[in-house]
Amino acid sequence: MKCEDVSNHLISYLDRRTSSADRSEMEDHLGTCAECRTRAEEFRKIWTLMEELPVLEPSVGFDAHVRERVAAEPRRGWFGLPIPKFVPGFMLQPRLAFSAALLIALCVWTARLPYRIHAPVPAPQVTAQNDMEQFQEINDLGVLENYDVLTNLDALSELAPVAERSTTTPASHDHAHDNGGA
Amino acid sequence: MLDVKAGDDASFNFLLRKYRTPLVNFLYRIVRDTATAEDLAQEVFLRVYRAREQYSPSAKFTTWLFRIATNLALNSVRDNRHHKMEVSIDISSSDEEDAAPRELPAREKRIDEHLIEQDRSDIIRRAIFSLPEKQRVAILLHKYEEMDYADIAKILECSESALKSLLFRAYETLRVELAPLVAQPGTHRGGEGRAQ
């Protein structure tokens, strides 16, 4: 290595950021060249001198000033569009916004569940309808128990539709039979 | 920084606490004015906040941060120099100090005067400040921020070999400027620590 090459390698040599080959080459040169050796020693001293500079601490209000300036910045949302002030801050955070959307979706889904459970089932309605029919038949029991009416075929024919309807449920059918027997 | 990008304010406060001191010191050593250094440091953090959406994880955060700081500081120094030159023309041509604030007198005389009138820290600070802008930034990032050559080269937009040459010239200048201090025995006081 020549003195001209030292300028390219001396800093990295002093920093210990050079390859072992370059390092040994530099050490060979410094062993023979007093001028470069002095320069290397003085560079090290300069670095030590630079460490003497005191550290300047930022003023007490530094952080507060930065935060004030940041807070005064217009908020930007997706695609860099400005966001109105009434939009809560957490909505600007994608993860929180996603969580909020998920929560809302869960609430909506849960709210829909009771409707499915208590949805009107046709079978009980049919039962209720049969109860009403049976009640009507009970109302007509007086007619059925009247012997004169029973002996009148025309009157019996009037009961035909009721008798037909009563066939839909075995219970009412039995009632009709029982009453007929009586 | 990715958390800041995602809108996490706590992460921004963490970055603020971690980098405010090195940043203020770096800027102070370039502009040599406490108030200006603090203003510039605030501006750096504000720009980081504004540009958080554009931050790419491929770039090291410190490199990005100090690149913003370097650009702001050098612009401030240039603006200030321009302003001082205007003032010196307007006020008086007899005031040599104002007329040529960055002109260096003969080295030996300058150092001797400083040894008498100023303390060691001020001499070192002045010597650093007297370096050309790029050399100054290079040694500040190299010595105080302990950055890799590749990162400093990115900030200064030059090649690594050009950076090594820049550093060599900067330390060579300081070696001459600070020769009286270097020659003094027991120069290291060691009580004031580093910037980081």
Res. A78: pLDDT tops 70: no
Chain B residues inside the 8 Å CB shell of A81: none
Q: pLDDT per residue over B74-124, tens digit each?
A: 999 888 776 666 555 554 444 444 444 444 555 655 666 555 556 788 889
The verdict on a CB contact (< 8 Å) between A54 and B192 is yes
Q: pLDDT per residue over B143-175, tens digit each?
A: 999 999 999 999 999 999 999 999 999 999 999
Size of interface A-B (CB pairs under 8 A): 122
Structure tokens at B30: 């370039």
The verdict on a CB contact (< 8 Å) between A53 and B45 is no
Phi-psi region of B157 (alpha: psi -120 to 50; beta: other; left: phi over 0): left
The amino acid at residue A129 is Q
The residue with tokens 């003085």 is A42
Residue of A nearest to B19 (CA): A58
The larger pLDDT score, comparing residue B186 to residue B176, is at: B176
| Min Cα separation B95/chain A (Å) | 31
The verdict on a CB contact (< 8 Å) between B167 and A11 is yes
| Min Cα separation A53/chain B (Å) | 5
The verdict on a CB contact (< 8 Å) between A43 and B20 is no
Residue of A nearest to B192 (CA): A54
3-class state of residue A118 by DSSP: coil
Distance of CA A98 to the CA centre of its chain: 5
ipTM: 0.72
The verdict on a CB contact (< 8 Å) between A51 and B193 is yes
Sorting pLDDT into bands at 50, 70 and 90, what band is A151? low
The verdict on a CB contact (< 8 Å) between B128 and A50 is yes
Res. A75: pLDDT tops 70: no
Chain A residues inside the 8 Å CB shell of B42: 62, 65-66, 69
| Min Cα separation B189/chain A (Å) | 7
Sorting pLDDT into bands at 50, 70 and 90, what band is A93? low
The amino acid at residue B183 is A
Weakest-pLDDT range from A9-13, A108-112, B102-106: B102-106
* β-bridge partners, B160: none
- Give the model's pLDDT for residue B188: 47
Give the DSSP H or E segment for B22.
helix B9-31
* β-bridge partners, A76: A82
Res. B66: pLDDT tops 70: yes
In DSSP notation, A52-81 reads TSPPPPPPTTHHHHHHHHHHTSPPB-GGG-
Structure tokens at B177: 């400027």
Instruction: Give the pLDDT mean for B42-60.
Output: 83
| Min Cα separation A114/chain B (Å) | 38
Instruction: Give the pLDDT mean for A151-167.
Output: 57
- Give the model's pLDDT for residue B13: 87
Among A53, A70, A93, select the one facing B124 at the smallest CB separation. Answer: A53
- Determine contact: A11 vs chain B, CB below 8 A: yes
3-class state of residue A163 by DSSP: helix
Residue in B72, B75, B22, B21 with CA at minimum distance from that of residue B47:
B72
- Give the model's pLDDT for residue B60: 85
The verdict on a CB contact (< 8 Å) between B16 and A42 is no
The verdict on a CB contact (< 8 Å) between A54 and B34 is no
3-class state of residue A82 by DSSP: strand
